[in-house]
Structure 1
Amino acid sequence: EEQKFGVAVKEKLKQMKTNVDTLTMSATPIPRTLQFSLMGARDLTSLNTPPANRYPIITSVCAGGDDIVAEAVNFELSRNGQVFMINNRIEGLYELEAQVKRLVPDARVIVAHGQMPPEKLEKAIIDFANHDYDVLIATTIIESGIDMPNVNTIIVNNAQNFGLSELHQLRGRVGRSNRKAFCYLLVPPHIPLTPVARRRLQAIESFSDLGSGIHIAMQDLDIRGAGNLLGAEQSGFIADLGYETYQKILKEAVTELRTEEFSDLEQADRLDESQTDFVADCVIESDMELLLPADYVPTESERIALYQELDGIERELDLQAFKNRLTDRFGAIPPVTAELLRIPRLRSLARRLGIEKVALKQGRMYTYFVDESNKAYYQSEMFGKMLAYLTANPRRVQIRERNGKRSFAIADVTNVETAVAILSEIIA
């Protein structure tokens, strides 16, 4: 239950012994932890396979009312099952008890919460587990560690006041057998929800499949923001930027510190200079025709999805798999698409050479390098290779400098294939 521990507590645990390996298990990792995993600071393994004979929990967000409660409780009792009813405040538990007794007189109801004497609380839980009662009205004390396969309906009162991971944990208390389970999230009928509460409820309702905890955690990351890398804050300002932009800015900042402010340390620690990327990303511009034609991929939404997938490809194996899928689904790849599929390779080579931007225009390739403040790059082996190519091809290559930015203009580059061949020759 990592979400129950703050940063200060975790640091104390780590100080108990040096070189501690930490394994965190969570149904929905908190934003800070998930952010660490996504940026590579921690390893992440996702368990998506549910136990055998389990069904997704049918989740509904409803405006709270007597009809919903009566219908849910009566249905569960009709199949000899039991019901959890959750309220976030102890004061409201006994009102709910009176409501259930009024609506379903036959139901046997018991209340449990953390302020009860331990012996009384333990007896209430054991009696409910033994099916001496039909409805357990409780606070969130049941959200973990409770395994009662006969309970397959949960009603969460005032669901807008709960966190996303908390709702997911509560929902996980039902559906623990081969019966179909139901989760009702009740909200006040006449009180408008805040935008954040609405997004939380939409996320928990949408992701009801087994093994969807990671998707809920990603929604939580988007809603609350990522935690600060240094410091105790569990959430930050990612929601204002968007996750991809946040990651890009973070990577650029780390690269800038490594290659400029701490370039001496980086040079000393670097074992294989050729594997160091001096830029976080490379922008490609072109006046060539590079696209997925409408007569090749007919659906516009599908073309957009394929463009997005291609933009995220970095490894040669992934690119080959992408090509194979295109051929399998749409047939032989047309020339304009074949040129487009060479862009990831071009971008990868350019990034390794410290090129921020490549422009393929009017039969020339323009390569723009990082600014002159990045001394580590201009002393590197990669920039040396670019100079060696300039020296070997003086008639084909021109060096230019504008506003502290250096660039090469390489002639006779009429397609992406030629551009890839030139950069591969420089790196070799």
Structure 2
Amino acid sequence: MTKSIIPLLYEQSPKLRKLQNAIAQSQNKISLKGLVGSARSFVVAEAFRSSDKPFLWILRDKEEAAYCLNDLEQFFGEEIVFFYPGSYRRPYQIEETDNANVLLRAEVLNRINSRKKPAIIVTYPDALFEKVVTRKELERNTQKIKTGDTISLDFLNEVLFEYKFNRVDFVTEPGEFAVRGGIVDVFSFSHDQPYRIEFFGDEIDSIRTFDVETQLSTEKVKKITIIPNVENKFSKESRESFLKYISPATTVFVSDLDFLEERISGFFEKAKVAFAELSEEIQHSHPEKLFTSPENIRAELQEFSLVTFEHNQHFTASDDLVFHTRPQPAFNKKFDLLLANLNENEARGYSNYLFCSSEQQAQRFHDIFDQIGKSVHYQTLVAPLHEGFIDDDEKLACYTDHQIFERYHKFQIKNGYAKKQAISLKELNKLTVGDYVTHIDHGIGKFGGLKKIDVEGKQQEAIKLMYGERDILYVSIHSLHKISKYNGKDGAVPKIYKLGSAAWKKLKQKTKSRVKKIAFDLISVYAKRRLDKGFAYAPDSYLQHELEASFIYEDTPDQVTAT
């Protein structure tokens, strides 16, 4: 069954209609009680679907927020749902800032400024504690570029320096840019891939995103926004609470209002202590300028339509909605208990849905129930949820495969930048002159650094490799796939030959011959196996499928293809 059925599960709910009507009234205060597990995500998603307002959902911590984010992504995808994390671990510890989180924060701020259709933002107290630059400041520090614009390359260069971008030979992380003739590579904090801007004179001829690992273009775009590091705590820009930054029409969902204020209060006290211990030689901004106090959070939340999930001391609701949901039962991997429960639900008029993390897991359920041979009423959906639940009002039983099999369920946060941490260019920048590297065509040489060379009147970056008898080879950055760091026996110094020497060619030929011999031996072994009479094992029983499905960790790609 496809995901398209998910929105229909709560479409006819009378309580959802009441919630939607209450949200439509500005600055309404609503209390939702009795929601457990991913039932909260279903309610938030269905409420958003019929609303024309943006939503902000504040969870207790990063882990809970990430799980709820993944739930909502099953409903809407990544284009509508955004994650707003904290950018660092401790106040005034700028060196501990996480660039991947800064990217996600900048993406959210940029989305709010873009005035596109409403979105759902998922966050937690640590992120709200940090103030952000005002909309006016962000617009002033945002450079918008589109194809066909007339912009001087020198002007763009100055703008990037003003934004405190670092000029490098190769762009590998946010806040860097590189200039090669009429091409500018820039890694903005508003996107998880860098941009390649190509000039024709003073006109923007084309803009493309590219992969920092392969240096190949991935997508052509018409317009981009270049944003500096919005979390730079040493900057003098005026700042405001994130709640002041978002639209006043936003509906705010809070999992636990008392916990939110308590958490913000603890952070603020730590920030005061950290500020008092700072060196007086460097001027730092006061905590009140960089961070939000619990009093401000409480006052600012009153200006929004507010929906809470827990009982709170300082919160009086104008509307109370009580749901009747229960956590998913524990089956302890016993399929007879699961089968009995599903049939009991069916007898009571409940619809059973099994939410699976993959097609393989869904198929395992079918195979297990088929081999047991008893009638069972259920439907599978390939849409991983955080926690299963039973809704007695809507007569729904939504169970998750990882809870049934007691598997570990890991949250996923969009993190394109983090995937590019171990890249060839970055490794190249870490190489020191004299390190050994291997070129697939010319053999082992010594790394001589990154150099700019003249190629037909144009300056280009190249990697300098030094060989025997002072031979030098320059390798274009577009041929990085031909170079790798030398891996040999510890302490053994490799032999370096002259360029054009037959030694490397002979060594490659010798290696190929050995590989061919190994391949020949393997083919002989497999040929003998094919000729010998084998033993035919019985097909996997439901016990085998149950064992496979109950493995507590997610299958690796190799495990998926092997089973």
Q: TM-score range by the shorter chain?
A: under 0.3
| TM-score calculated relative to the size of structure 2 | 0.21
- Considering Cα pairs closer than 8 Å and 6+ residues apart, tell me whether 1 or 2 has the greater RCO: 2
| TM-score calculated relative to the size of structure 1 | 0.27
Higher helix share: 1
